[in-house]
Structure 1
Amino acid sequence: METMFDTAIIGGGPAGLSAALVLGRARKNVLVLDEGRPRNRVTGEIHGFLTRDGTRPAEFRRIAREQIAAYPSVRFMDDAAVEVTGTNGRFRIATAGGATIESKKLLFATGKKDLPLDIEGLSDIYGKSAFVCPYCDGWELRDKPLVFIAKGAGAMHFAKTITGWTSSRTLCTNGPDELTEEQREELKRHDVAVFDSPIRRIESVDGLVRQVVLEDGSAVPCAGIFFAPKLAAGSDLPRALGCDVTETGSVVVDGFGKTSVPGVYSAGDAATELYQAIMAASMGMLAAAGINGELLEEAWNGKG
């Protein structure tokens, strides 16, 4: 592929697709590299996204690609980036399929990836009756008995947040709770039962949780679970290129998605810990505006 693209977008989820749409409408020559393994593929529906509430993730991506196809300057390649070299104005991307792509700017929309779920039975219900975000999936579990799996400050956050959807909630800390006495008393005042025995397994039928079984023999019946996932960066390429990255794997960006490396941007779950599709799409739009502004400025000054 000999074309020098204005922007190469690595990642074809809501952030990458949103950026592609904005840049396509800005008449920029764009390539979207998409390996087709979005983190939200385990979920049945996207929620909280105006006009797309309840849409299946695969359908969301299909509609987005169909709309972006109206802009001929945007191309898609179903492939994965494995190496990125170069500097602002001339980046070179090598793909798993053996292609080499050159681009003036880069946008990493590579998201995060789930680390293996270390509780027996949790993977069977993940995306069906076990979720990580009450804002995304709390409505479907409203007024039902819920278990949330967390420790310490995270447990307190979950306890308060889940109250908006149900008053029947139980904390399973899967080991030492890491709570202060004051926090334990606070949970007790709000009728939140706390079990600190390690979880032996989660029992379910056809993806619907029935109960959480603990090592001490206790069983906690429930109709849904929320838990804090263990995540890693969706790609190591931003770090390898020199981008500043937080301890949790998020690429450090400014308000328009610009990283610490000139010409390199990031958006969506790759650059935030607010994991919602509408947030990712919004960040993709802002990054696209930042990239377009930079390209226009360079062209204006005869550097494009």
Structure 2
Amino acid sequence: MKTQLLDVAIIGGGPAGLNAALVLGRARKHVAVIDEGRPRNAVTRKTHGFVTRDGISPGEFRWIAKEEIGSYPSVSFVPDTAVSIAGTDGHFHIATAQGATFASKKLLFAVGMKDRPLDIPGLAEVYGKSAFVCPYCDGWELRDEPLVVINKGAELMHFAPLISGWTNRFTICTNGPDELTDAEREELRRHRVPVFESPIRHIDSNDGIVRQVVLEDGTAIPCRGIFFKPDLVPGSDLPRAIGCQFSETGTVVVDAFGKTNVPGIYSAGDAASRLHQAIAAASMGAFAAAAINNELNMEAWQRNG
């Protein structure tokens, strides 16, 4: 199989990778978007908070994006998984699971994050239907409903005031020790927020809609929705394998334009940020693409001067 020569290889075809492909295609760069087609947000029925696309399904979002990018013939889509990357700036080599090979001057990792297996019985059945992770994405649909928040510690004390903008009818399940200070417990009591530390036995639901959360001590908490803190890991091991630095929160360390510590390698979207929203990822992809294009143009200018 012949090795394809590229200006930029984009690993990952979510909002970040797609918007980067659009910008680079319009800049006349030869680009391949390598994506296995298994996005983390596939569990959700609708994507929200993206102006002109509010309420669109993740699948339709990708279809429309590919249709638009199809106007730029220098961009191709590769339904495959990148399994190895080697080389240095200007001379990267990518191999895929299906045996394709690419030689690329620059790399953009838009690999996102992925969920570890959900270890609460019944949570997988409601995830994306009535259990969510982001109120900006799904809080409107659950406004004024009785909810259960599954979280603990410092992150809980950030989330509780946040979710109160959508409903004041929520109960906290910490699924074990709450990891709160006495002052934090008192703050929740002042706001009349019930807190249960007993581990969760299971979540009862009907056709994906939660009915109640049942605890090991027998407590049953009726609710219409759940917000929980997911356990996330990078969507690919390739950035770490080629030497990209990672933050303590598990994201690739980048500058304001997506540049990593490895020359010629950029990252954008959820892989490089904790701002896990489609519109934020698309924005990061656009900025990273512009920085990559500028780098390529400057290198060509200097070679030809």
| TM-score between the two structures when normalised by the length of structure 1 | 0.99
Q: Determine if contact 1:232/1:248 at 8 Å carries over to the other structure.
A: no
Runs of 4+ in 1 over 6 A off after TM superposition: none
The equivalent of 1:189 in structure 2 is: 190
Give me the whole-angstrom Cα distance separating, in 2, the residues matched to 1:93 and 1:2. 9
SS at match of 1:84: strand
Rounded to whole Å, the distance in 1 between the matches of 2:304 and 2:102 is: 21
Q: Which residue of 2 aligns with 1:65?
A: 66
Distance in structure 1 (CA, Å) of the matches to 2:97 and 2:250: 23
Separation of aligned partners in 1, 2:4 and 2:159: 49
Displacement of 1:303 in angstroms is 7.2
The answer to whether 1:126 aligns with 2:92 is no
Paired residue for 1:35? 36
Stretch deviating more after TM superposition (2-11 or 159-168): 2-11
Corresponding residue of 1:140: 141
Determine if contact 1:4/1:103 at 8 Å carries over to the other structure: yes
CA displacement at 1:249 relative to structure 2? 2.1
Query: Secondary structure of 2:29's partner?
Result: coil
Alignment of 1:14-29 (within 5 A): 14-29=15-30
- Which residue number in structure 2 is paired with residue 170 of structure 1? 171
Cα pair 1:108 1:238 within 8 Å, conserved: yes
The residue aligned with 1:88 is 89
Q: Rate the CA distance shift 1:93–1:219 in 2: closer, same or farther, 3 A.
A: same
| 2:260 matches 1:259 | yes
Which stretch shifts more, 13-22 or 149-158?
Answer: 149-158
* Partner Cα separation in structure 2 for residue 95 and residue 38 of structure 1: 18
Q: Does the residue aligned with 2:303 lie in a helix, a strand or coil?
A: coil
Stretches of structure 1 that go unaligned for 5 or more consecutive residues are none
Query: One-letter code of the match for 2:106?
Result: K
Distance (whole Å) between structure 2 residues aligned to residue 247 and residue 38 of structure 1: 24
Where does structure 2 lack aligned partners over 5 or more consecutive residues? none
Task: Tell me by how many angstroms 1:248 deviates.
Answer: 2.8
Any conservation in 2 of the 1:7–1:30 contact (CA below 8 Å)?
yes
Match of residue 271 from structure 1: 272
Partner of 1:156: 157
1:16-46 Cα offsets, whole Å, 9 max, x none, are 0000000000111111101101000000000
The TM-score, its normalising length taken from structure 2, stands at 0.98
What is the alpha-carbon root mean square deviation over aligned residues? 1.0
Could you say which residue in structure 2 is the equivalent of 1:115? 116
| Secondary structure of 2:136's aligned partner | helix
- Determine whether 1:290 maps to 2:288: no
CA contact (8 A) 2:4 2:101 kept: no
Separation of aligned partners in 2, 1:51 and 1:5: 32
1:298 and 1:50 map into 2 onto residues whose CA distance is 36
Q: Which amino acid aligns with 1:181?
A: D
Distance of 1:156 and 1:108 partners within structure 2: 32
Per-residue deviation, residues 223-247 of structure 1 (Å, max 9, x unmatched)? 0000000010100101110010123
